Structure 1
Amino acid sequence: MTMTSWSMSITDIQGVAFQSPYSGGLVYDVTGVVTAKDRYGIWIQGESSDDPRASSGLRLYGNAAHSANVGDLVSISGRVAEYRKAPNDLFLTQIDRILSIKTLSSGHVVPPLVLGRDRTPPNNQFSSLDIGKDGWLSMPNNRTLLEHVNATLRPEEFGLDFWESLEGQLVTIKSPTATNFQDRFGSLWVYGDWPVTGKNERGGLTVHFKDGAMPPAHPEAIFIGRALDGSRNPPVVMGAKLSDITGVVTYQFGFYYILPLSAPEILQYPSFDVLPAPFNSSVHPCQIRIGDYNVENMSPRSHHIPKIAAHTANYLHAPDIVFVQEIQDDSGPRNDGTVSANKTLRALSDAIKKASGGVQYDFVNVEPLDNKDGGAPGSNIRVAYLWRPERVSLIPGTIGNATVGTTAVTGDDGNVVLTFNPGRIDPLHDAWEESRKPLAAAWQTSSGARFYTVNVHFSSKRGSSSTQGDARPPVNGRAELRTSQANVTATFVGSILDLDEHASVIVAGDMNEYAATRSVLHPLSARLLDINDVARVPAAERYTYAFDQNAQEIDHMFVSEAVAARGGDVEHVHVNTWAQSIAERASDHDPTVARLWVCDTAETASDFVVQKWGAEYAPRVQVVL
């Protein structure tokens, strides 16, 4: 649209939709007070209107704007434009060709709008275009482009609409709380003194869902960028309390930001004491403790091996079986054709023995074909098992190879056995192209009872778009692959349960997906139960990872009905998401440990639990065995 308009207000220019009705046109004698300044231009703010959809702030871009200073009342003439740097960004309304700028007077003060008092961000979905059962996580995604629709803003209902309605305005956040570590540019996510969803005990915001409702997207959190006065944002952690933040609302790098006039200060850090799992032993042969840990690109020379070992020994209490993911080959990232990971696994096993004071783990994996399982070229990351041979053992059999899958069959004794043990699941299926293949195993307890496990590491979210970008719902990179991987895994589990409906099966690992993305993980949740549900873990405390404003669980454990019926415990041990800094983490994932009954006993599970650990544990056990 091209037009020429005189004596236009800023709220008229901003309008009540995502794009200005005057985009491409020339406007004259637009007045406002300069509220902030950077090396690229200034922000001005005019009189507000009675319509909360129309922002009274505006970005002026270009060197011509530098003649004005903060506090000046200026009159501007120029061209209205919608700017974005990347194709999936939302547009930022600005005047990008300044024809004239006049200072009318100086010394003005613009009182900031106080978020949580004058205006409060909604805490449900990002956009009215995030349509589907799972809201912003719905599949299929990227069905609509927000800027093409250019919807009329509904700031009381939707997060993107809310922040757009404040574009360019000066705002204050009272009592901000950080939700994650700062990013590599020093930017950080916070929420203020207003209602939020999914708040966990640490102070982060957890991706969750309840009772079939859409999972909240946490639009009530906002990115805090670099301070305009050149001061540096402090290093933050999940739950850190900050001083009040005053700055201007803008859009950059795929997100809405507040650019503070000056960097905030840390008022209080949370405690960095992480408690170990509350269950530290299993005496009964039918009660098995299972750990799960993505050890982040571990090679024989990885500096973080001692930390991972200490976590396994001291926080997980040396579980009977440990599912590990991202085990690199013996040459690490060197792309030299090496595929064996025995040195890597031996280094980890030896480190755990040292950290635990003597617990010796055996280990097993199936070597991949060189550079066929994704990850960094040459690293050949894979999943593997470590186990304590005095507690459990693999049922005797032949270890599989990279290309031939294992299957469940009925053995001569009538029990379910695997044709390769351990073995990969359908490794030539298209679902696993350039991805780690699951490793299935059949085990027996020291009493001879059998149970079955599957260790998975689904495809990454590479190719995802910003959650606050133009594509609605946001692009969930490789979600179709993960759906297929979940289906192949569930089909294999089904083949065991078809032979023995009472089989004890545990599926765990890095699934690179939220439980709230129900369509992706539905193949597994349709056949198995989430261990969090079995153990009654509060929804907000189900997280193993932190990204953007969200605490999230992407490492999951599912169990068969037979295991679930006996009850169980699980603990997500936040040794990494609660670290004092990113550099202090051993991995970008937290480990998980569960205590499960994998076989029936002559006594009731509840009797055994009461006898060994006290009556307070009895309600966790749901049935008599």
Structure 2
Amino acid sequence: MPSKSSSRLASLTVAAVCTTVSGVVLTTPAHADTVRIHDIQGTTRTSPLAGRTVTDVAGIVTGVRTYGSSRGFWIQDPSPDNDPATSEGVFVFTSSAPKVAVGDSVAVTGTVSEYVPGGASTGNQSLTEITKPTVTVLSGGNAVPDPVVVDARSVPDRYTPAGDKAANGSVNGLALRPQKYALDFYESLEGMNVQVSDTRVVTATDPYTELWVTVKPHENADRRGGTVYGSYDSQNTGRLQIQSLGPVADFPTADVGDTLTGTTAGPMDFNQFGGYTLVANRIGTLKSGGLQRETTRKQSRDELALATYNVENLDPADTTFAAHASAIVNNLRSPDIVSLEEIQDDNGATDDGTVGASLTVNKLIDAIVAAGGPRYEWRSIDPVNDQDGGEPGGNIRQVFLFNPGRVSFTDRAGGDSTTAVGVTKVHGKAQLTASPGRIDPAGEAWTNSRKPLAGEFVFRGRTVFVIANHLTSKGGDQPLTAQYQPPARSSETQRHLQATEVNTFVKAILAKQGNADVVTVGDMNDFEFSDTTKILEGHGELWSAIKSLPASERYTYDYQGNSQVLDQILVSPSIRRGCDFDYDSVHINSEFHDQISDHDPQVLRFRP
């Protein structure tokens, strides 16, 4: 086919042949041993030609990426084979801005490589590429191969096969079964032109100009438009990340429940932060779902309202104080006690030995008053500098806010950053040896992690023990799309030790006073169905109250298209047995592109 831009054609030193396929003229150099793209991709996740040089691989350019650290372009063979397991597309990594355009017919010579986004330590699958390429443009203006439709009918309901035990659980060497497993289906399309249509957004647009949609609108749907993550064994297969090959300014700013109407199409990529990704050169039109931030009800006079809220690295330089204050006053309706996570020290991430947080906390309290809320009092314990994890220099910690007009705090001296709080029995009642105090701050479980903060409150003459937590993060766990299936969750090791210590402390309170009201709150960094939660709950010492909600309403965080639980409030038997409690996961952040934190606050109301 004649080129529409003949000035871009490279001269050829070999004879060429022309093949007409579905109206597309694909020009390739004449070699008897020409390798096709599906030969490179093969029938497993890794190429049978990895490490080898391939010559004059023919294809039509379907997408060009000129930005970031992975510059290059995708090519696709318009003459597919009959094997659904072999992809007909591949990425050509050029490192610099490629000099091809969509619709070019090209011949590529280079080395077949398997690139692991983020490095082998992530456990990620690899992306098959052609690297160190020599590219010959044969013609321009050719029709791009029609995209493969990805929808509820084409994506299998089963997520992934189990890994090969002989290969340490890797799925890389397993034959792809794209009609049985969702990850196999997506892998069989790696590098190919694909499309989705009229898809609902299930993770809002983030600062990196990406969002997630679902092609299965009924799959574990919640009432606000998301897709709920309910167990390790029931993955949501319809989730797909969307990025853009076009200008950032043109990318839709979407919230959960919005819809990308019409067609979104482009090459199927695989990256470190999300796995299989449709990199769109055509994006559907955004239709708002009208999602609104939730407001919980006001507690009654005889109800104690206790909230937990991760305010995401709050420090005095942030511009979100008014917004957080409004959320606490207007959306949470000024709870009697608010346990805050991720309060940073008075100069934020500046690592100069500062550990005090009075400026941070008092700025928030002042903002709450300005928003019409009560003037909270607060208690906390400063950490040892740079010993509690989080952002270097930030010294994050938990802080209790409490409304002195409704509840009092029992101050008992002795609590500091390194002294472990204990439990004694006084006049037949459990009592903390220090209030506030930290649970076993020198213990192995809390190395480079936030130590739990325990305190005694009194409401209407009844003591309530509150333990504020921020357990170690899930960082370092293998992703759901890892080559190892099931993926390893290495962060659980420390988190299980932490959960054991918290449960042991609660048991110590209940041993002294069986009917004590104990509430364990915070960012547990794990799901309500996880082993972490089971360890916290023990043999009935605690119970995660978010499980009182319908399964479709159990989420506090939104990650990679999964609405999931990370923040929890667990209660002792005296609270659970009475059934006189009310739980609300107040969705004000996780579903929105303009979130002020990545966590939704939780509120428990009960009558001690």
Per the normalisation by structure 2, the TM-score is 0.84
For residues 57-68 of structure 1, what are the structure 2 equivalents within 5 Å?
57-62=89-94
Q: Which range moved further: 302-311 or 450-459?
A: 302-311
Pairing 1:490–2:510 present: no
8 Å CA contact 1:112, 1:171 repeated in 2: yes
> Aligned residue for 1:597?
607
How far did 1:61 drift? 4.7
Q: Which amino acid aligns with 2:497?
A: S
**1:94 CA drift (Å):** 3.7
Counterpart code for 1:225: Q
1:292 aligned onto 2:292:
no
Shift of 1:484: 1.0
Kindly indicate whether residue 523 of structure 2 is the aligned counterpart of residue 510 of structure 1. yes
Tell whether the 8 Å contact from 1:9 to 1:46 is kept in structure 2 after alignment: no
**Structure 1 partner of 2:69:** none
Q: Give the match's secondary structure for 1:250.
A: strand
Shift of 1:45: 2.4
Q: What CA deviation, in whole Å up to 9, does each residue of 1:289-336 have, x standing for no partner?
A: 111111222334543222212111111111111111122233444444
In structure 1, what is the Cα distance between the partners aligned to 2:330 and 2:590? 17
Any conservation in 2 of the 1:44–1:57 contact (CA below 8 Å)? yes
Q: Are the structure 2 counterparts of residues 215 and 353 from structure 1 closer, same or farther at C-alpha, using a change threshold of 3 Å?
A: farther
Q: Give the Cα–Cα distance (whole angstroms) in 1 for the partners of residues 85 and 106 of structure 2.
A: 24
Alignment of 1:538-553 (within 5 A): 538-553=550-565
Q: Say yes or no: does 1:256 pair with 2:281.
A: no
Residue 184 of structure 2: aligned partner: 161
Amino acid at match of 1:530: S
Work out whether residues 228 and 259 of structure 1, in 8 Å CA contact, stay in contact via their aligned partners in 2. Answer: no
Which AA in structure 2 matches 1:329? D
Matching residue's letter, 1:162: F
Cα distance between partner residues in 2 of 1:405 and 1:236: 46
Superposition pairs for residues 313-392 of structure 1, below 5 Å?
Answer: 313-356=329-372, 359-392=374-407
Deviations 1:5-24 (A, max 9, x none): 82554434322211222334
**Residue segments in structure 2 that go unaligned for 5+ positions in a row:** 1-30, 67-71
For structure 1, the residue ranges without an aligned partner over 5 or more in a row are 132-141, 599-625
Instruction: Determine if contact 2:76/2:145 at 8 Å carries over to the other structure.
Output: no
How far is 1:595 from its partner? 0.9
Q: Tell me how far apart the structure 2 counterparts of residues 404 and 247 of structure 1 sit (CA, whole Å).
A: 57
8 Å CA contact 2:332, 2:603 repeated in 1: yes
- Offset at 1:189? 1.8
* Root mean square deviation, CA, Å: 3.2
Are residue 400 (structure 1) and residue 415 (structure 2) matched? yes
Contact 1:198–1:207 at 8 Å: present in 2 too?
yes
Post-superposition offset of 1:109: 5.0
Provide the rounded CA distance (Å) in 1 between the counterparts of 2:52 and 2:379: 67
CA pair 365-29 structure 1, distance change in 2 beyond 3 A = closer
CA distance in 2, matches of 1:303, 1:449: 38
Identify the residue that residue 428 of structure 2 maps to in structure 1: 414
In structure 1, the partner of 2:27 is none
Paired residue type of 2:290: S
Distance 1:477 1:15, change over 3 A: same
Tell me: CA distance 1:27–1:353, structure 2 relative to 1, closer, same or farther (3 Å). Answer: closer
Whichever residue aligns with residue 35 of structure 1, its letter is T
SS at match of 1:225: strand
Tell which deviates more after alignment, 40-49 or 319-328: 40-49
- Note closer, same or farther for the CA distance 1:368–1:98 as it changes in structure 2 (3 Å cut): closer
CA–CA distance in 2 between the matches of 1:569 and 1:560?
A: 14
Of residues 462-471 and 519-528 in structure 1, the stretch that sits farther from structure 2 once superposed is 462-471
Aligned to 1:138: none
- Within the alignment, does 1:182 sit opposite 2:205 as a pair? yes
1:200 alignment partner, one of 218, 222, 225: 222
Q: Secondary structure at the match of 2:294?
A: coil
Task: Assess if the C-alpha contact under 8 Å between 1:459 and 1:482 holds in 2.
Answer: yes
Q: 1:502 to 1:303 in 2, by over 3 A?
A: same
Match of 1:113 among 148, 158, 167: 148
SS at match of 2:244: coil
Distance 1:229 1:334 in 2: 34
The SS at the match of 2:313 is strand
d(CA) in 1 for partners of 2:362 and 2:118? 46
Which of 467, 491, 504 is the equivalent residue of 1:454? 467
Q: Percent identity?
A: 31
1:445 and 2:459 aligned: yes
Q: What SS class does the counterpart of residue 606 from structure 2 fall into? A: strand
